[in-house]
Amino acid sequence: MSFPTTTHALSLSRVTGLCIEDPEDEKANLALILDRYKGSITSLPKEKGWLTESLYMYQGHWFPSNNLISIGTVMASQEVFQANPTDIYLVTPPKSGTTWLKALAFAILNRKRYTNISTHPLLIFNPQDCLPYIENEILRNKPTYMDANSTRLFATHMPYTSLPQFILDSRCRLVYMCRNPKDVLVFMFHFVNKLRDKSLDRITLEEAFEMFSKGITPCGPYWDHVKGYHAASVKHPTQVLFLPYENMKMDTANNVRRLADFLGYPFTVEEEAKGAVQEIVSLCSFKNLTDANRHGNIREGLPKEAFFREGKVGDWSKHLTNEMSQILDGITKEKFNGLDISF
Ligand code: A3P
């Protein structure tokens, strides 16, 4: 696939229908929020962080100290975020296929707008920039979506029990992607060491393993995050779609159909005949998105390429020792005992 050379023909706000705020304003608002919740935050249990200096334990999960997705923005969104019943939320524990899920959902919902794949926004903008996180909504001065009547597509890393009550009450649809914790750990380890603040020490694999197995990860314990949404999907199957990364990898086309049905944008017979499903699968393939994201940064300032590594199931075996693997398998077995969750 060839990639459009000009980034000026499409502006991010036109493509996404989002009001794009100045990142500096967002940073200033983040500082205000952290200051507002300082009193509640400082008394919480604290551990060393991955990307940020610390993680704080809040409502049974660990949240970063001062990121755009952080303890302060989670607390603030719980207080003020207002859902629409037509909203769709893409939920992932960090580093579990968020970028891919964002790309797939964006491509499915917008397929009638972008019929010419060779100039598709996903070949210009990183999927991370194409739809916002709930946690960041609070940092904006204007509402995110310019068209109040459009289906709003948000992402979030929040555990089920921490979701703003408005989302739970309004019965919006949630898509949950998770993945084998061993692959998550390996990606987290690489991602963090690439992007960790230079003033902080490198995290060794042994340290990363230790923190991960104790459940001390952003929005972790990983297993509890998965269990929360799995239980919700069993209880509310029409509201929560539980979609492991491995399943999506194994049969992408059929899972794209399933995702489109769930989102309320099913493929028509005519679209099927024209190969629309395969077109989205190829557009969002690991190779295609990796090629399209070799240069530049996302709005937050992180390099686009940092969101892509191997894109394979089971790459953990090249990095973790047998002992690490066995320990993590043991935790997974114990935590998911009696549940129909497998990767
Ligand atoms: P690997 O470490 O296996 O390469 P997140 O987006 O939540 O940060 O998840 C990152 C993981 O998703 C990385 O996994 C990354 O390579 C993989 N990934 C990103 N885009 C993908 C795509 N289009 N298809 C499959 N995997 C993808």
Ligand 1 center from residue 96 Cα (angstroms): 7
What share of the chain has pLDDT > 90, as a percent?
Answer: 76
Q: Is the dihedral of CA 39, 45, 51, 53 positive or negative?
A: positive
CB 158 within 8 A of CB 44: no
pLDDT, mean over the chain: 92
Q: Where does residue 282 rank: exposed (0-12), middle (13-18), buried (19+ CB within 10 A)?
A: middle
Predicted structure pTM score: 0.94
Residue 3 — very low, low, confident or very high, per pLDDT cuts 50/70/90? low
Judge whether residue 9 has pLDDT over 60.
no
CA 270 / ligand 1 centre spacing (Å): 31
Site residues for ligand 1, CB cut-off 6 Å: 92, 95-100, 183, 186-187, 284-286, 289, 307-312, 315
Catalytic residue among 61, 120, 157, 319: 157
For the cut 70, the answer to whether the pLDDT of residue 150 exceeds it is yes
Contact 93, 180 (CB under 8 A): no
User: What is the set of domains in the chain, with CATH numbers?
Assistant: 12-335 (3.40.50.300)
Q: Please answer whether residues 71 and 59 qualify as being in contact, where contact means their C-beta atoms are separated by less than 8 angstroms.
A: no
Active site residue 319: no
Distance 246 CA to ligand 1 centre (A): 11
pLDDT at 1: 59
Q: Give nearest CA residue, ligand 1 atom 18.
A: 311
Residue 132: phi and psi, rounded to 5, are -85, 160
CA-to-CA distance for 261 and 249, rounded, in angstroms? 18
Judged against a pLDDT cut of 80, whether residue 134 lies above it is answered with: yes
DSSP codes, 125-142: S-HHHHS-BHHHHTT-SS
Mutate to test the pocket of ligand 1, among 308, 310, 315 (most ligand atoms within 8 A of CB): 308
| CA of 285, closest atom in ligand 1 | 23
Start-end of H helices in 118-199: 127-130, 134-137, 165-170, 181-195
Distance in angstroms (rounded) separating the CA atoms of residues 324 and 30? 37
Nearest-CA residue for ligand 1 atom 8 is: 95
pLDDT at 5: 45
Q: Which residues of 200-234 are buried (b: 16+ CB within 10 A; e: fewer)?
A: eeebebeebbebbbebbbbbbbbbbbbbbbbebbe
313 CA to middle of ligand 1, Å? 10
CA of 269 to the centre of ligand 1 (A): 31
Of all protein residues, whose CA lies closest to atom 19 belonging to ligand 1?
308
Q: Per-residue pLDDT tens for 279-338?
A: 999 999 999 999 999 999 998 889 999 999 999 999 999 999 999 999 999 999 999 999
Q: Which residue has the CA at smallest separation from atom 2 of ligand 1?
A: 187
DSSP 114: -
Residue nearest to atom 5 of ligand 1 (CA): 95
3-state secondary structure of 244: coil
Residue 86 pLDDT: 93
> For residues 289 and 199, what is the distance between their CA atoms, to the nearest angstrom?
31
Q: Which residue of 245, 288, 309 sits with most ligand 1 atoms within 8 Å of its CB, as the best mutation to test the pocket?
A: 309
Tell me which of 58-62, 273-277, 297-301 is least confident.
297-301
